[in-house]
Structure 1
Amino acid sequence: MNENVEKISIWQLYILIIGFQVGSAVLVGIGNEAKGDAWIAVIIGTIIGVAIIWYYLFILKKLPGKNLFEIILFCFGKWIGKPLIFLYVIYFLYLSARVLRDFDELIVSSIFEFTPIEFISITMILTIVYILHQGVEVLGRTSEVFFPYVLTFIVFIGLFLLLSGEMDFHNLQPVLGDGFKPVMNAIFPGIITFPFGESIAFMCIFSKVITNEKVTSTSIIAVLTSGFLLTYSAIIQIATLGVNLKERTNFPLLNAAREISLLDFIERVDILIVFTIMFGVIVKVSIFFYCGLKGIEALTHKTHRSFTLPLGAIIAFLSIEIASSYREHIIEGLKFVPLYIHLPLQFGIPLFILPFLFWKAKKKQKKESNQ
């Protein structure tokens, strides 16, 4: 294996975290349970998100250079560790399929209305398979190219809506009009699991960063940047479309962008939102997919590249079969996934790992000192 294509720079890590966290969260919107106070929920969720990614890095620093699966094997041994790794492989592939389905539905409903959804799914997964087969560095470099455009588009969408007179900031009032409970309902388990808890995937990426010196500070800054962009997006959506976003549209930022009409010249800029979301989806699916591949690698001791195409086919198939309709897909994502899938795998097992990690590390150190 060429190790050069398994390394990313600190700047690429920063971009990947932002693309990963903003990705599908911008597509479907987050914090909608808090209605007009969604932006407050996102701000608080971001602060919790910083603590979450710090904790993941804290675990990794106990065994430098190791990824999530190697730490699981170190802590629990092969008899317990391998079933846990297999569980995480299923989890990451499942999330890849869910994010891909989000994008499929967006494209079919907004641009290619008469194109079979299967065609969109296969086309996207083949692109991702090619990127991952070339190496994670290719994903980093690809993100590096597109990130400035994506950032510019997000900023200008809000500016264009403001200049078009489509934004009504009275929609943001009264602040906490229904109290703090709706905000808390939006934060837990929603926002802390999606998108911030999903950063557990980066426990397979951090070891690929060229330098470890600034990984923690860069990751925290990236989460704060993601939180700022998601807060900005939430304010745009509420000010433009009102507070009942869940009842009005499946893709709130896209619908908000369609309201832009400036000087009878700047119109139909929703294609910019589609481009922005496509970037985020490629990053997010690629990272989840890569984590699944690394899990298979840990189980089989074979290079993950040999599994990219068959697992890509499984993800494309699952993205279609995961739900019979987009409504069913969303309900599953809001009701079932956060409580019964995200919480145990994002927080339960990592919290369980830490005492074992301390115990095993101390036992190993004592054994070495006695030799």
Structure 2
Amino acid sequence: MKQEKISALQLFYVIIGFEIGNTMIFGIGSGAKQDAWIAIGAGMLCGLILMFVYTKLSDYYPDDTIIQMIPKIIGKYLAYPVILIYILYFTFLASTACRDFGELIVSSILVETPIVIIIGSFMVLMIYCLRGGVETFGRMGEVVFPVYMMATIVVWLLLLSVEEFSLNNLTPVLGNGVKPVLKEVFPYTITFPFGETIIITMFFPILNKKKNTKLVGIAVILIGGILLTINSILNISVLGPEVYANQLFPLLASTKQVSIADFLERFDALIILLIVSGVFFKVGGWTYGASVGISQLFNIKDNRSILLSMGTIIIPLSLLYGNDFIKAIEVGKEFITIYLHIPLQIIVPILLLCIAFIRKKFNAKV
């Protein structure tokens, strides 16, 4: 079977959509309050370092995903448990993204609809798209991401019209010192969303021009970080730092403040458009990564046969992810960030790069 390829622009659309997809609606960096935007910017700089690690690994093994690199770097027997953990990690994060999507829809517009119907319907569409192949996913990125950005820009312009909007809400800058910012950067903003771009290592082998690997990676982190920083500044300016820190979905709360001439109100539909577009990239990226990982682990030539079973796993898993959504988020920050994100996004890739570097140097001397 001929391997599918996508262009650098398609990969950029898919991964930046994946990076900022559902992140826009959350109050990332909220622990730093009015300095949340600084925490996001610092997280972006750390994200550039992580992206260097991911792209350097791709330079060493240009035709391999991270799943294929691991056995070549640490050996076949040590690799199996690590690969299995990565596959479970990708699958689990696909389910958490689905849960975020379902909770927002249920809490905003479809309050009487069971969440399982919302998540199930979305996953049916997602699996249908992915079964069309990664080229189809890339082309969908070209269509969906511009729509996502148009809706985002419209929302931002509307926020500027809110009567309570004030840049004074961003002051005093570093009024609580540097410590709250550093506590948000590590481990939170560096792992969500910037560290999650480790999924790009599952797409690098299908890039039609490998020379664009670094360019795409750097562009994703920089542009994504800038967009999230702007979004944070606008939300804090509307809500104030205290409300921003205590809102589950601050962008939704900010948009509800919009009222033009006491006539045009309720722009919630734009936020729903954003979340649907964003979750498309987030869930699609994780599901694709998990299905490719399974096919490579078991030497299955076509990962499309795996996608149906992925859907049947992700839907119930998203519902099992905590009965109480607030508690689920707390578990995510306390457990997932420390015990999953940090090892799998930061520690393991850096160790793999160090070992790969030593192997390359040793083989060059031999």
* TM-score, L = length of structure 2: 0.96
Q: Distance in 1 between matches of 2:168 and 2:114?
A: 41
Match of 1:46 among 30, 35, 44: 44
Question: Alpha-carbon deviation of 1:48?
Answer: 1.4
1:237 aligns with 235
Pairing 1:305–2:292 present: no
Alignment partner of 1:154 out of 152, 155, 159: 152
Task: Measure, in 2, the Cα distance between the counterparts of 1:211 and 1:257.
Answer: 41
Aligned residue in 2 for 1:322: 321
State the distance in 2 between where 1:347 and 1:153 align.
33
- Check whether the contact 2:162–2:238 (CA below 8 A) recurs between aligned residues: no
Kept in 2, the 8 Å contact 1:167–1:240? The answer is: yes
5+ residue gaps, structure 1: none
Q: Equivalent pairs: percent with the same residue?
A: 38
Of 258, 261, 268, the residue aligned with 1:260 is 258
**SS state at 2:161 partner:** helix
Give the Cα separation in 1 of the matches to 2:2 and 2:71.
25
Deviations 1:10-52 (A, max 9, x none): 1111111211111121122210000010011111111111121
Partner of 1:80: 78
- AA paired with 1:338? T
Which residue of the other structure, out of 122, 125, 133, is the alignment partner of 2:123? Answer: 125
Would you identify which runs of 4 or more consecutive aligned residues in structure 1 move more than 4 Å?
A: 362-367
Tell me how many residue pairs correspond in the alignment: 365
C-alpha contact 1:17 1:223 (8 A) present in aligned 2: no
Which letter does structure 1 place at the counterpart of 2:226? F
C-alpha distance in structure 1 between counterparts of 2:209 and 2:329, whole Å: 39
1:279 Cα deviation after fit: 1.0
Q: 1:154, 1:276 within 8 Å by CA — same for their partners in 2?
A: yes
How far is the alpha carbon of 1:222 from its aligned partner?
2.1
Confirm whether residue 62 of structure 1 aligns to residue 53 of structure 2. Answer: no
Q: Which residue of 2 aligns with 1:333?
A: 332
Shift of 1:366: 6.2
Alignment of 1:276 onto 2:274: yes
Report if aligned partners of 1:32, 1:245 keep a CA contact under 8 Å in 2: no
Indicate the SS of the match to 1:244.
Answer: helix
Q: Report which stretch shifted further, 245-254 or 101-110.
A: 245-254
Structure 2 unaligned blocks of 5 or more:
none
CA distance in 1, matches of 2:205, 2:86: 18
Code of the residue aligned with 1:318 in structure 2: it is L
Q: Given the superposition, is the C-alpha separation of residues 2 and 29 from structure 1 closer, same or farther in structure 2, using an over 3 Å criterion? A: farther
Distance (Å, rounded) in 2 between the aligned partners of 1:202 and 1:248: 32
* Match 1:225 to one of 198, 223, 237: 223
Q: How far does residue 360 in structure 1 lie from its aligned partner after superposition? A: 3.5
Aligned equivalent of 1:196, options 179, 194, 197: 194
Taking the aligned partners of 1:127 and 1:304, their CA distance within structure 2 comes to: 17
Q: State yes or no: 1:213 paired with 2:216.
A: no
- With 161-170 and 67-76 compared, the bigger mean Cα shift is at 161-170
Distance 1:210 1:331, change over 3 A: same
Aligned-residue CA RMSD (Å) = 1.6
Q: Offset at 1:154?
A: 1.3
Letter in 1 for 2:323: S
1:166·1:260 contact (CA, 8 Å) conserved in 2?
no
Q: Give 1:228's aligned amino acid.
A: I
**Deviation string, structure 1 residues 293-320 (Cα, Å, up to 9, x no partner):** 1111122111211110111110111000
Residues 1:156 and 1:300: Cα distance change in structure 2 (over 3 Å): same
